[in-house]
């Protein structure tokens, strides 16, 4: 790290040591786990039109296209393991320094690293929900069924998005067989929020409450391009809560940040909280 970044990390470490830090994480936190982000150094903005809830539920061809691509993408998402950044967040929580963890990611790596009570704004790809009966099942079971239903499917993904979608030639999607709910025969969908859906209000309320009860908001690996994450930064600024952003490249949150660090998360995060020993801190800030 250059001198400026070292000084910035030292300042952030002082904030973290005070406790009461609300973490908001984005796709950039998972790049070191092999999951490319959308706009940072490891990825690019999604090409083409995103899958919408309306298309998924109303167009059988769009649904087949989604499942063919997601079936391939899950090989990357499902095999990913937490990196040093995820482990650092879990350690900070264990030390009593965090007010909570909010993530825009759907990969479940925070929890796998040991973080608790993570607010998953956009859901989790490892869960499958039936739109008919509401039954929740694990992704592993669905992958076994899709593999059995498509024994000749040998397509290779050329790129993977953080939501598990991939780039795939349309000719390779033809003939892919979609499976339905074993309980009621209803339509299966990943338990994630699609474009055209809204994040459940109770989930949003919990996230806002986490930010409101924090002393600092720490944004990790998010360009904050969409309002889904940026709204929490705006709320923090409105309430006089300090905002720190650690991200590779530009962030739309920079004009609102008290501290902006452009550096690898896997380098910055393990250096935070190291001076805190055995004595938990109070995570509620005084207004």
- pLDDT tens for each residue of 177-189: 999 999 999 999 9
Determine, yes or no, domain membership for 243.
yes
Same domain, 180 and 222: no
Selection from 286, 240, 200 nearest residue 19 by Cα: 286
CATH number of the domain where residue 90 is located: 3.40.50.1220
183 is in an annotated binding site: no
* Domain of residue 152, residue span: 46-79+124-192
> 170, 192, 214: which is the final residue of a domain?
192
Q: Specify whether 207 is located in the same domain as 172.
A: no
Look at residues 52, 51, 25 and name the one whose alpha carbon lies nearest to residue 37: 25
The pLDDT > 70 percentage for the chain reads 90
Instruction: Clarify whether residues 111 and 231 are in a common domain.
Output: yes
CATH code of 162's domain: 3.30.1600
Q: What is the pLDDT of residues 135-169, one digit of tens each?
A: 999 999 999 999 999 998 887 766 777 777 777 77
**Does 148 lie in the same domain as 62?**
yes
- Global pTM? 0.89
- Co-location of 67 and 203 in the same domain: no
How far apart are the C-alpha atoms of 112 and 86, rounded to whole Å? 9
Q: Please state which of the ranges 112-126, 241-255, 263-277 shows the lowest mean pLDDT.
A: 263-277
Q: Is 243 exposed, middle or buried (0-12, 13-18, 19+ CB in 10 A)?
A: buried
Return the closest-CA partner of residue 32 out of 246, 203, 198, 196: 246
pLDDT digits (tens, 9 = 90+) for 10-52: 999 999 999 999 999 999 999 999 998 765 444 444 445 678 9
188-192 sheet: strands from edge to edge: 136-138, 123-130, 188-192
Strands 21-25 and 98-103: parallel
> Which residue would you say has higher pLDDT here, 225 or 173?
225
**In this model, does residue 8 exceed pLDDT 80?**
yes
Point out the domain boundary residue: 192, 222, 245: 192
End residue of a domain, out of 137, 163, 192: 192
If asked whether residues 8 and 134 sit together in one domain, one would say no
Q: Does residue 281 share a domain with residue 145? A: no
122 is catalytic: yes
Residues 52, 149 within the same domain: yes
Helices 60-79 and 139-149, axial angle in degrees (round to 10): 120
Q: How far apart are CA 165 and CA 74, in angstroms?
A: 8
Answer yes or no: is 19 a known binding residue.
no
What are the tokens at 115? Answer: 């973080």
Asked if residues 216 and 22 have their Cβ atoms less than 8 Å apart, the reply is: yes
In this structure, is residue 54 part of a structural domain?
yes
Residue 196 marked in a binding site: no
Q: Is 26 annotated as a binding residue?
A: yes
Q: Provide mean pLDDT across the span 83-91.
A: 97
164 is in an annotated binding site: no
Mean predicted confidence (pLDDT) in 170-197:
92
Task: Say whether 76 counts as a known binding-site residue.
Answer: no
Amino acid 175: pLDDT: 85
> Considering its fold, how many domains does the chain have in total?
2
Residue 41 located in a structural domain: no
């Amino acid at each position: 790290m250059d001198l400026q970044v070292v000084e910035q990390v030292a300042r952030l470490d002082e904030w973290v040591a005070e406790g009461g830090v609300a973490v908001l994480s984005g796709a950039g936190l998972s790049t070191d786990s092999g999951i490319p982000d959308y706009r940072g150094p490891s990825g690019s903005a999604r090409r083409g039109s995103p899958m919408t809830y309306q298309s998924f539920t109303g167009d059988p061809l769009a649904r087949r296209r989604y499942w063919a691509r997601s079936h391939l993408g899950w090989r990357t998402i499902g095999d990913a393991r937490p990196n040093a950044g995820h482990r650092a967040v879990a350690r900070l929580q264990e030390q009593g320094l965090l007010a909570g963890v909010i993530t825009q990611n759907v990969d479940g790596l925070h929890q796998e690293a040991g973080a608790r009570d993570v607010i998953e704004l956009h859901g989790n790809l490892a869960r499958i929900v039936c739109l008919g009966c509401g039954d929740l099942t694990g992704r592993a079971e669905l992958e076994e069924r899709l593999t059995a239903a498509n024994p000749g499917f040998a397509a290779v993904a050329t790129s993977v998005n953080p939501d598990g979608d991939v780039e795939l030639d349309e000719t390779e999607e033809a003939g892919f067989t979609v499976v339905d709910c074993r309980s009621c025969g209803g339509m299966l969908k990943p338990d994630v929020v699609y474009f055209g859906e809204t994040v459940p209000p109770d989930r949003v309320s919990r996230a806002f409450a986490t930010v409101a009860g924090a002393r600092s908001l720490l944004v990790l690996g998010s360009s904050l391009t969409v309002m889904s994450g940026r709204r929490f930064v705006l709320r923090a600024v409105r309430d006089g809560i300090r905002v720190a952003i650690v991200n590779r490249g530009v962030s739309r949150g920079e004009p609102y940040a008290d501290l902006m660090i452009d550096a690898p998360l896997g380098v910055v995060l393990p250096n935070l909280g190291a001076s805190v020993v055995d004595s938990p801190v109070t995570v509620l800030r005084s207004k």
